[in-house]
């Protein structure tokens, strides 16, 4: 009996990918890795720089060679490696706007080579979602676009690029989050789709991901009513009939964080986390992400106890658990990190410049007022540096940069009176107070240029507009270059006595 219990506990350990706090591995993580824990997922809280990450993963691997080291590194707005600076590589929506599959493959390869050098084996990317509604609160710039076949092509190129570096990709969030109007971190979205509509839209990029050889797919906490009341992560129809049967996927199925409100009841609910873990395994999931918000030894012990109890009670088979453990272990192979790739900054700026869209951009002076309107980031992105003002200030030393929130703009409208204003927003269409502030600037200023760094929304009555399709360091820098170039053009027009300068 003791031997059987020990075997089951080892299998239960092997399917778990918890998070933890700190920039070195805590004792409980190291002890569990030595005992067979499947691996870990790294978050921004674990990262200082690439050298520190490499040392951390070496520390993890010293406990056992076949450790899965995952990370949620999408580039663009959702970055972990560059959480302190902002990503030099634009994210998926900018890649889609650039429309160059070669660049997308290059970005995947460059990021994959960097991850491999850091000792990461699994990247929880790319998003194979579609951006289908401006009411979507969580995907937006994380998807390559709205056209399923264009997105499919970029998903395939990204996967081939990254996996050429030896890092496993994880196409997410099956069956596709982009039509949802609520955030599964907090509530349970219901997709307004029939299976036929899903087949023609959301599932197209996942087919491309599978055809490209993605080694894993992440389930989303999303309900498709025709598949039953359970979200895909704990739904056997979604995983076994559709993903494995209809789409033919044979790799590892990774869950989105199981403590998310959509499946665990609410963030921080350890009992809900343990129950969701068993339900996911029973439905056909393999690797369980269990430590985004709950990252302590007691919560992981509770999950293991619950899995073992389910097997002993006959509600989960040992064969299913062993299968999940083997598929999880398949994601532990370490890339060589020797793939020769393009310089990250040069590559990122090439993408960012090609992605930009400008509308009616006026010739500006070299002293604009640059306003960054700060909004709360999504839980997926977290607190990463964002802002156009510092970039413009570097290129146009005469400019004035300010940061405000729409709720507390201070004396901004007075300062903007009669001036040229560049206002940077992030998903302005989702924030009524931001829309009101931009309207106030349009009334007060001599001219206003909006730089939208989120998903493009409606025109807001500004004289000019720039869409960057993301808020990465590279995308902001590219927008600043355009602003500075317009200022140079304006200065030339002002000083040309013939009036003939274009």
Amino acid 447: pLDDT: 96
Handedness of CA 291, 219, 208, 332 (dihedral sign): positive
Domains and CATH numbers, the chain: 2-329 (3.20.20.300), 356-495 (3.40.50.1700)
Kindly state the average pLDDT of the residues 177-201: 80
| Short-list 282, 286, 283, 262, CA closest to 273 | 262
| Short-list 489, 467, 490, CA closest to 96 | 467
Nearest-5° angle of CA 60, CA 62, CA 63?
75
Report the distance separating Cα 40 and Cα 68, nearest Å.
Answer: 6
pLDDT at 500 over 60: no
pLDDT, tens digit (0-9, with 9 covering 90-100), for 123-146: 999 999 999 888 888 899 999 999
Angstrom distances, CA of residue 438 to CA of 135, 140, 412:
20, 21, 11
Angle at which helices 270-283 and 297-313 pack, to 10 degrees?
A: 40
Report the distance separating Cα 159 and Cα 146, nearest Å.
Answer: 19
DSSP assignments along 411-441, one per residue: THHHHHTTSEEEEEESSGGG-HHHHHHHHHH
Report the distance separating Cα 396 and Cα 77, nearest Å.
Answer: 25
pLDDT at 492 over 90: no
Report the distance separating Cα 277 and Cα 288, nearest Å.
Answer: 7
Q: And the tokens for 47?
A: 């990262």
Q: And the tokens for 188?
A: 């349970």
pLDDT at 372 over 70: yes
Residue scoring higher pLDDT (374 or 268): 374
Q: And the tokens for 163?
A: 């996996």
Q: And the tokens for 322?
A: 């062993």
The answer to whether the pTM exceeds 0.85 is yes
pLDDT, tens digit (0-9, with 9 covering 90-100), for 401-416: 999 999 999 999 999 9
Amino acid 194: pLDDT: 87
- Catalytically active residues are 185, 256
Q: And the tokens for 406?
A: 């729409």
Cβ atoms within 10 Å of 23's Cβ, excluding its own: 14
pLDDT at 67 over 90: yes
Cβ atoms within 10 Å of 443's Cβ, excluding its own: 12
pLDDT, tens digit (0-9, with 9 covering 90-100), for 306-363: 999 999 999 999 999 999 999 999 999 988 756 778 899 999 999 999 999 999 999 9
Cβ atoms within 10 Å of 51's Cβ, excluding its own: 10
pLDDT at 262 over 50: no
As a whole number, the mean pLDDT across the chain is: 91
CA atoms within 13 A on the CB side of 189: 27
Angle at which helices 270-283 and 318-329 pack, to 10 degrees?
A: 90
Handedness of CA 364, 368, 373, 378 (dihedral sign): positive
φ/ψ region of 307 (left if φ > 0, alpha if ψ in -120 to 50, else beta) reads: alpha
Q: What percent of the chain has pLDDT over 70?
A: 92
In this structure, of 231-235, 278-282, 293-297, the range with the lowest mean pLDDT score is 293-297
**3-state DSSP assignment of residue 105:** helix
């Amino acid at each position: 009996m003791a031997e059987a219990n020990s075997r089951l506990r080892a299998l239960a350990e092997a399917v778990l990918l918890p998070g933890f706090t700190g920039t070195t591995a805590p004792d409980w993580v190291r002890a569990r890795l030595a005992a067979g824990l499947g691996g870990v997922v790294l978050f921004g809280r674990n990262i200082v720089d690439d050298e520190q990450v490499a040392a951390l993963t070496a520390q993890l691997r010293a406990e056992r060679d076949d450790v899965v080291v995952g990370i949620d590194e999408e580039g663009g707005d959702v970055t972990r490696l560059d959480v302190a600076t902002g990503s030099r590589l634009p994210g998926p929506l900018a890649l889609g706007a650039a429309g160059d599959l070669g660049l997308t493959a290059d970005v995947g390869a460059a990021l994959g080579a960097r991850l491999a050098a850091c000792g990461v084996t699994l990247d929880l990317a790319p998003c194979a979602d579609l951006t289908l509604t401006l009411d979507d609160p969580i995907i937006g710039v994380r998807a390559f676009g709205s056209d399923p076949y264009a997105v499919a092509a970029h998903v395939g190129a990204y996967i081939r690029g990254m996996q050429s570096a030896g890092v496993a990709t994880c196409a997410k969030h099956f069956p596709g989050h982009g039509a949802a109007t609520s955030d599964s971190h907090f509530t349970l979205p219901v997709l307004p789709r029939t299976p036929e509509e899903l087949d023609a839209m959301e599932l197209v990029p996942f087919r491309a991901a599978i055809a490209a050889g993605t080694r894993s797919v992440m389930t989303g906490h999303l309900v498709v009513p025709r598949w039953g009341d359970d979200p895909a992560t704990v739904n056997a129809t979604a995983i076994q009939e559709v993903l494995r049967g209809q789409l033919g996927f044979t790799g590892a199925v990774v869950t989105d964080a199981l403590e998310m409100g959509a499946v665990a009841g609410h963030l921080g609910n350890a009992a809900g986390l343990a129950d969701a873990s068993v339900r996911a395994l029973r439905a056909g999931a393999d690797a369980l992400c269990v430590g985004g918000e709950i990252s302590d030894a007691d919560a992981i012990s509770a999950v293991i106890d619950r899995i073992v109890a389910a097997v002993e009670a006959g509600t989960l088979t040992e064969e299913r658990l062993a299968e999940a453990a083997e598929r999880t272990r398949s994601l532990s192979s370490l890339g060589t990190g020797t793939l020769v790739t393009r310089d990250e900054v040069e590559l990122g700026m090439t993408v960012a410049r090609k992605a930009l869209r400008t509308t009616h951009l006026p010739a500006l002076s070299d002293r604009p007022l640059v306003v960054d309107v700060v909004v709360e980031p999504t839980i997926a992105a977290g607190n990463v540096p964002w802002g156009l003002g510092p970039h413009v200030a570097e290129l146009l030393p005469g400019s004035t940069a300010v940061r405000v929130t729409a709720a507390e703009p201070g004396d901004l409208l007075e300062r903007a009176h009669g001036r040229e204003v560049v206002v940077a927003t992030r998903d302005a269409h989702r924030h009524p107070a931001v829309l009101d502030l931009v309207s106030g600037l349009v009334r007060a200023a001599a001219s206003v240029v909006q730089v939208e760094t989120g998903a493009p929304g409606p025109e807001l009555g500004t004289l000019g507009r720039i869409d960057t399709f993301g808020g990465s360091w590279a995308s902001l820098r590219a927008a600043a270059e355009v602003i500075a170039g317009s200022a140079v053009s304006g200065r030339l027009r002002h000083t040309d006595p013939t009036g003939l300068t274009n």
